[in-house]
Amino acid sequence: MPEYSLQKTSAGASIAKFRELGLLVFILLLCVGVQLRNPSFLTLENINDMVTNTAILSILAVGMMLVIVTRGIDLSIGATLALSGMISAMTVSAYPDTHPLLAILLGTAVGIVSGMIIGLLVSKAGILPIIATLGMMNAFRGMTFMVSGGKWVSAHQMPDSFKAIATSSIFGLNTLIVIAIVIYLIFFYFITYTRTGRQIYAVGSNPDSAKISGISNDKILWLVYTIMGGLSGLAGVLWVSKFASAQGDTASGYELSVIAACVLGGVSIAGGSGKISGIILGSILLGILNNALPLINVSPFWQMGIQGSIILIAVVINALVKRGVDKSNLMRRRI
């Protein structure tokens, strides 16, 4: 529904705000519930653990949000993550003197190249994002196995400096958390205050009018998938450093969790809307679920089913909320 007056925009915005508030309340209730069952949940140590575990997910969620805002989807990030993690892990195990920063840069570069390929396929060749990323997901996953020859890179092959990326801390915060916060700040500025950032939303909410108003849709799409690739590459290095092992099937299926975090955070699959604050809450909710379910003795085999149901419920609620907004907009027009 096109929005003609300022008033209507504010009505939509207030409901969106209510949505985030609802999510926050849900998270708090969940925390209280879990805490009553298991008092070790809200200890400083566990919270620190939980946030550290969520950091990688939330970094990926930023990129995924941008992709979904442009009406796309990226199923290849798990494979990109594995590829970049494997390449950087093999590099540091072959040259133990490599500076960790260099390893991070290498992984990110691998991710950026992968993302650029997908971006080209989506923007220039005009392939549906789901098909392009499904195909490249397999190509990258296969390449990971080929690069490694099917072998693992395990903890004792990695130098301590590399493993320290995930275990060290800056200002008392774990490095992973610091990196996630820096990325969130950068991207908050990028999508709120820069021209290119706003253009991403313009392309997502109406590609045709974006084109007419002089935005190069192809370039924006390409950029978005490249950013997604770069972030997955970075996440790959962090992942390998954190778990101290690189395998061919690292993070397989992780893309679903990332998409879940975005959808929970209110990023609309139809494109054009999604907020940084939303995906932070979405990632935290998923992180809490992953952390809390074992604490209250839910079998790990239930996790997948629960996660899927939550995604479904979230998208259905999103749809119903949007219906409500559209309806109230129509009512207002009649008056």
Partner 1 sequence: MEKRVIIGKKEFSWKTFFLQWEWMLVLIFILVNVINANLSPYYLNADSLRDATMTFLDKAFIVLPMVFIIILGDIDISVASIVALSSVVMADLYTMGVPMELAVVICLAVGTLCGYVNGLLITRFKELSAVIVTLATMIIYRGIAYILLEDQAAGKFPEWFKFLGWGYVGSVPFILIVFAVFAVIFALLLHKTTFGRRVYAMGSNLTASQFSGIQVDKIKILVFTLAGLMSAVTALFLTSRMGSTRPNIATGYELDVIAMVVLGGISTSGGKGRMIGAILAIFLIGFLRYGLGLVNVPAQMLLVIIGLLLILAVMVPNLKGYLRKWVKI
Tell me which residues touch partner 1 (CB under 8 A).
Answer: 73, 121, 125-128, 130-132, 134-139, 141-143, 145-146, 150, 248, 256, 259, 263, 269-270, 299, 301-309, 311-312, 315-316, 318-319, 322-323
Minimum distance of partner 1 from residue 164's CB (angstroms):
31
- For partner 1, the closer of residues 100 and 207 by Cβ is 207
- For partner 1, the closer of residues 100 and 271 by Cβ is 271
**Cα 234 to chain centroid, rounded:** 12
Residues 65/302, Cβ–Cβ less than 8 Å: no
Cα(270)–Cα(292) distance, integer angstroms? 31
Pairing of strands 173-174, 169-170: antiparallel
Cα(25)–Cα(235) distance, integer angstroms? 29
Cα(217)–Cα(161) distance, integer angstroms? 42
Minimum distance of partner 1 from residue 168's CB (angstroms):
34
- For partner 1, the closer of residues 36 and 312 by Cβ is 312
- For partner 1, the closer of residues 112 and 121 by Cβ is 121
Instruction: Record the tokens describing residue 295, joined without a space.
Output: 């604490």
Minimum distance of partner 1 from residue 16's CB (angstroms):
15
Residues 140/130, Cβ–Cβ less than 8 Å: no
Q: At what angle do helices 276-295 and 175-193 cross, to 10 degrees?
A: 150
- For partner 1, the closer of residues 51 and 83 by Cβ is 83
Minimum distance of partner 1 from residue 142's CB (angstroms):
4
Minimum distance of partner 1 from residue 311's CB (angstroms):
4
